[in-house]
C-alpha cells in the first residue's frame, strides 16, 4: 500500500508526464480479421491516442489502428480484442501486416519464399494464404495495445 506522500508523488509524476508527453491521434478504422479472411468495410470510428516516441514512429508516419477479431495470430501474442497500430509502408519478410488478399482483408505475417509472397498465420490451425490474383499490403504493425478487461 502506498503512503499518502508516495501517492501524492505518484500523482504529481503522472500529471507531469501526461502534460508534457506529445500525443498522436491515430485513426481507428474498425476491425480486422485474424482468422479466415473476409471482405470488410473500412470506416473511421474515432482515434486512439499514442505516444509516437514510445512506439518509435518516424516523424511523418501515416498510421491507423484496428481491433483484432479472431485467433490466427495468437502465437505471435496478438489476441482477440487487441488493437494493432499499423503504418502505411512497404512490408518486409516476417512483418505482421494488414493485407488485402484476393479481395478479402486479414491480419497475418508477410512471408517471401523463393520470390513468392504469401501470408502465414501464427496459429497452426490456419493454412498459409497464397494469393490467386492479388496481395496488397495495407499496413505494417508497429504497436500492439491490450486493454485489461474490467
- Of the candidates 27, 29, 23, 24, which has an alpha carbon nearest to the alpha carbon of residue 107? 29
- Is residue 108 annotated as a catalytic residue, yes or no? yes
Query: Residue 64 falls within a domain, yes or no?
Result: yes
Is there a domain that residue 66 lies in? yes
Q: Is 149 a catalytic residue?
A: no
Catalytic residue among 9, 74, 108, 125: 108
Structural domain includes residue 18: no
Give the model's pLDDT for residue 149. Answer: 73
The residues with which 60 forms a beta bridge, in sequence order, are: none
pLDDT for the residue numbered 31:
93
Instruction: Please report whether residue 39 resides in a domain.
Output: yes
- Catalytic residue from among 36, 59, 72, 149: 72
Does residue 37 fall inside a structural domain? yes
Q: Is residue 13 part of a domain?
A: no
CA 137 to CA 142: how far, in whole Å? 14
Q: State CA 46 to chain mean position distance.
A: 16
**In whole angstroms, how large is the CA radius of gyration of the chain?**
18
Average pLDDT value over all residues in the chain:
86
> How many structural domains comprise the chain?
1
CATH number at residue 136: 2.10.109.10
Which residues, including other chains, have CB under 8 Å from residue 53's CB and lie 6 or more apart? Answer: 21, 22
What grid cell was written down for 95?
A: 512483418
Q: Which residues pair with 87 in a beta bridge?
A: 63, 140
- Pick the residue with more confidence: 146 or 37? 146
Residue 5 within any structural domain of the chain: no
**To 5 degrees, how large is the angle CA 116–CA 114–CA 94?**
70
pLDDT in tens, 65-102: 999 999 999 999 999 999 999 999 999 999 999 999 99
Kindly state whether residue 8 falls inside one of the protein's structural domains.
Answer: no
Q: Note down the domain range covering 111.
A: 23-145
Full-model pTM: 0.80
pLDDT one-digit tens code per residue, 12-53? 666 655 554 577 888 999 999 997 655 555 566 788 888 888
With cell 480484442, the residue in question is 81
Amino acid at each position: 500500500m502506498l503512503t499518502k506522500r508516495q501517492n501524492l508523488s505518484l500523482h504529481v509524476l503522472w500529471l507531469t508526464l501526461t502534460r508534457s508527453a506529445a500525443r498522436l491521434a491515430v485513426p481507428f478504422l474498425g476491425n480486422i480479421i485474424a482468422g479466415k479472411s473476409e471482405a470488410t468495410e473500412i470506416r473511421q470510428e474515432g482515434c486512439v491516442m499514442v505516444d509516437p516516441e514510445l512506439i518509435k514512429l518516424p516523424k511523418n508516419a501515416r498510421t491507423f489502428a484496428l481491433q483484432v477479431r479472431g485467433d490466427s495470430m495468437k502465437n505471435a501474442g496478438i489476441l482477440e480484442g487487441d488493437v494493432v497500430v499499423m503504418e502505411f509502408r512497404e512490408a518486409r519478410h516476417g512483418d505482421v501486416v494488414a493485407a488485402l488478399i484476393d479481395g478479402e482483408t486479414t491480419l497475418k505475417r508477410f512471408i517471401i519464399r523463393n520470390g513468392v509472397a504469401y501470408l502465414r498465420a501464427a496459429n497452426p490451425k490456419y493454412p498459409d494464404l497464397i494469393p490467386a490474383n492479388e496481395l496488397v499490403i495495407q499496413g505494417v504493425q508497429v504497436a500492439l495495445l491490450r486493454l485489461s478487461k474490467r
